[in-house]
Structure 1
Amino acid sequence: MAQPAEIEEKPGADLEEHPAAPKKSPLKLILILVVIMAVLGGGGFLAWKKVVAPMLSAKGKLETAGGETKAGTDSAEAALLGPIFVLDPFIVNLAGDNGRRFLKITMDLELGEVKLKEELDRRLPQVRDTILVLLSSKTYEDIESVQGKFKLREEITGRVNSYLQSGKVKKIYFTEFVVQ
């Protein structure tokens, strides 16, 4: 009878069938982590420069029309826009309703001339006072409609211009208008 063939086992046979996973170099891992950190750091820096820093520096500063314009705005339109003076928000109780309603309003003043910024800086307490008195004299019914907001804008412009000597405020822009 025939004898079954013996299977020879080679000492390295298992290794050939299941090759060992190549060793990962810690240097390669560190290099990948450094690249990822550099990319994230660069992205954070760009986000800070483009988003956060302009928001922090815009408060109370003068921006000229020749400066940065928002994406999508017409350059001819931006050239017509005068210097902008940003006022801090106003929060006042409205007249009537026994003080149950209040108005939070933020506005920017478009100036006729750049030199007017210095005068506004000097007269800021007077300007804020006259605006606060005017706003607190208004009722909800006075300012709830679009026409009421336009009228309020004209009244504020007139009162602010009455204090100014070196130029005039061309227009007022409400950037926040909340009644509660």
Structure 2
Amino acid sequence: MLPALLVIVLMPIISFAMFKFMIIPMIKAELPEPGMEPELTAEDLDISYDTSGEEYKVTFEPVVTNVKGTSQTRFVQVIFSVYSANPHLQEEVDKKTDRMKDVAISVLGNLTLADLERREMKNIVRNQLKQGFNHVLGEPLVEDISFSQFVVQ
């Protein structure tokens, strides 16, 4: 019984001491001194963005796949466009169109009828496609996806 009581009493004290004397000094050591310039800048990361506000768009041809669990009697057909502020979107998508279509077929092919009846499913599919496309492209080029057709037959 005594060890359990010691643990209950000493754990908050040990936690406080660890935080105050170990964790906070470690965090402070990593922060730059006031007035010092940070070591890493946007130019170092080669991050560029278009400040003109222009949006670039690539529209994909219809993607058709079977709905999971329907013995291949039902299918989903989707036409979508991807949007980005990057002016090189078209070239990057053209290089990896087949892999991007494969991602779209994989995401849509894993949907069941119950999934497709959910109200928020289009947003979930949109986010999964966006993550998959950005992974395939190797950088976060795709900023938005819009569906011009989303049909379950």
Q: Same fold (TM over 0.5)?
A: yes
Alignment map for 1:136-151 (pairs within 5 Å): 136-151=109-124
Distance in structure 2 (CA, Å) of the matches to 1:99 and 1:80: 44
Long gaps (5+) in structure 1 = 1-78
Q: 1:159 to 1:135 in 2, by over 3 A?
A: same
Counterpart residue identity of residue 97, structure 1: T
SS of the residue corresponding to residue 99 of structure 1 reads coil
Larger Rg: 1
Superposed CA RMSD? 1.7
1:105 corresponds to 2:64: no
What percent identity do the matched residue pairs reach? 25
1:117 aligned to which of 77, 84, 90: 90
SS of the residue corresponding to residue 64 of structure 2 reads strand
Q: 1:152 to 1:100 in 2, by over 3 A?
A: same
**Could you tell me how far 1:80 is from its partner in structure 2?**
5.3
1:135 aligned to which of 108, 121, 140: 108
1:90 corresponds to 2:63: yes
**Is the Cα–Cα contact under 8 Å of residues 90 and 106 in structure 1 kept in the other structure?**
yes
Q: TM-score, normalised by structure 2?
A: 0.62
SS of the residue corresponding to residue 120 of structure 2 reads helix
Residues 118-157 of structure 1 deviation map (CA, whole Å, 9 limit, x = unaligned): 0110100110011111111111221223301111110000
**Is the Cα–Cα contact under 8 Å of residues 89 and 104 in structure 1 kept in the other structure?**
yes
Alignment map for 1:22-171 (pairs within 5 Å): 82-165=55-138, 167-171=140-144
**Is the Cα–Cα contact under 8 Å of residues 116 and 166 in structure 1 kept in the other structure?**
no
**Could you tell me how far 1:81 is from its partner in structure 2?**
6.2
Q: TM-score, normalised by structure 1?
A: 0.53
Q: How many corresponding residue pairs?
A: 102
Long gaps (5+) in structure 2 = 1-51
